[in-house]
Amino acid sequence: MAPVSVFSASDIELGFHAFSDPLRLQVLELLKQRELCVCELCAALEVPQSKLSFHLKALKTANLVKSYQEGRWTYYSLNLNQFLRLEQYLAEFRRYGDIVPARRCDDDL
């Protein structure tokens, strides 16, 4: 099996999984503009708080967002480093340049 360069598979998987849900995408879009607390996100997206909390946890686990608490509020923001890592993972595929055609599958070695 081909070695997977510097990326840990599960790390990448987690990251992309976090991107594969409409609500989580909306959250990320909102955080693009600026840091927001949970109650602001909740209001903007019109979803129950426990639902949002679930998805924020997914984003956090995937390292796509960071958060800190201040008084009663918890503020979330993008962790752009991780965005860059995923971007680089994708970019690696293109570095190989054009597609090498298959050897006919029944050819000898």
Q: Which residues bind DNA (CB under 7 A)?
A: 17, 20-21, 23, 37-39, 42, 47-58, 67, 69, 71-75, 105
Residue 61 binds which of a copy of itself, DNA, none (CB < 5-8 A, kind-dependent)? none
Residue 47 binds which of DNA, a copy of itself, none (CB < 5-8 A, kind-dependent)? DNA
CA terminus-to-terminus distance, the chain: 18
Q: What is the CA radius of gyration of the chain?
A: 19
Nearest residue (CB) to a copy of itself, 50 versus 106: 106
Nearest residue (CB) to a copy of itself, 50 versus 95: 95
Phi-psi region of 79 (alpha: psi -120 to 50; beta: other; left: phi over 0): beta
Q: CA of 33: how far to CAs of 19, 36, 77, 78, 85, in Å?
A: 18, 9, 9, 10, 20
Residue 68 binds which of a copy of itself, DNA, none (CB < 5-8 A, kind-dependent)? none
Nearest residue (CB) to DNA, 63 versus 74: 74
Whole-angstrom Cα distance, residue 38 to residue 30? Answer: 12
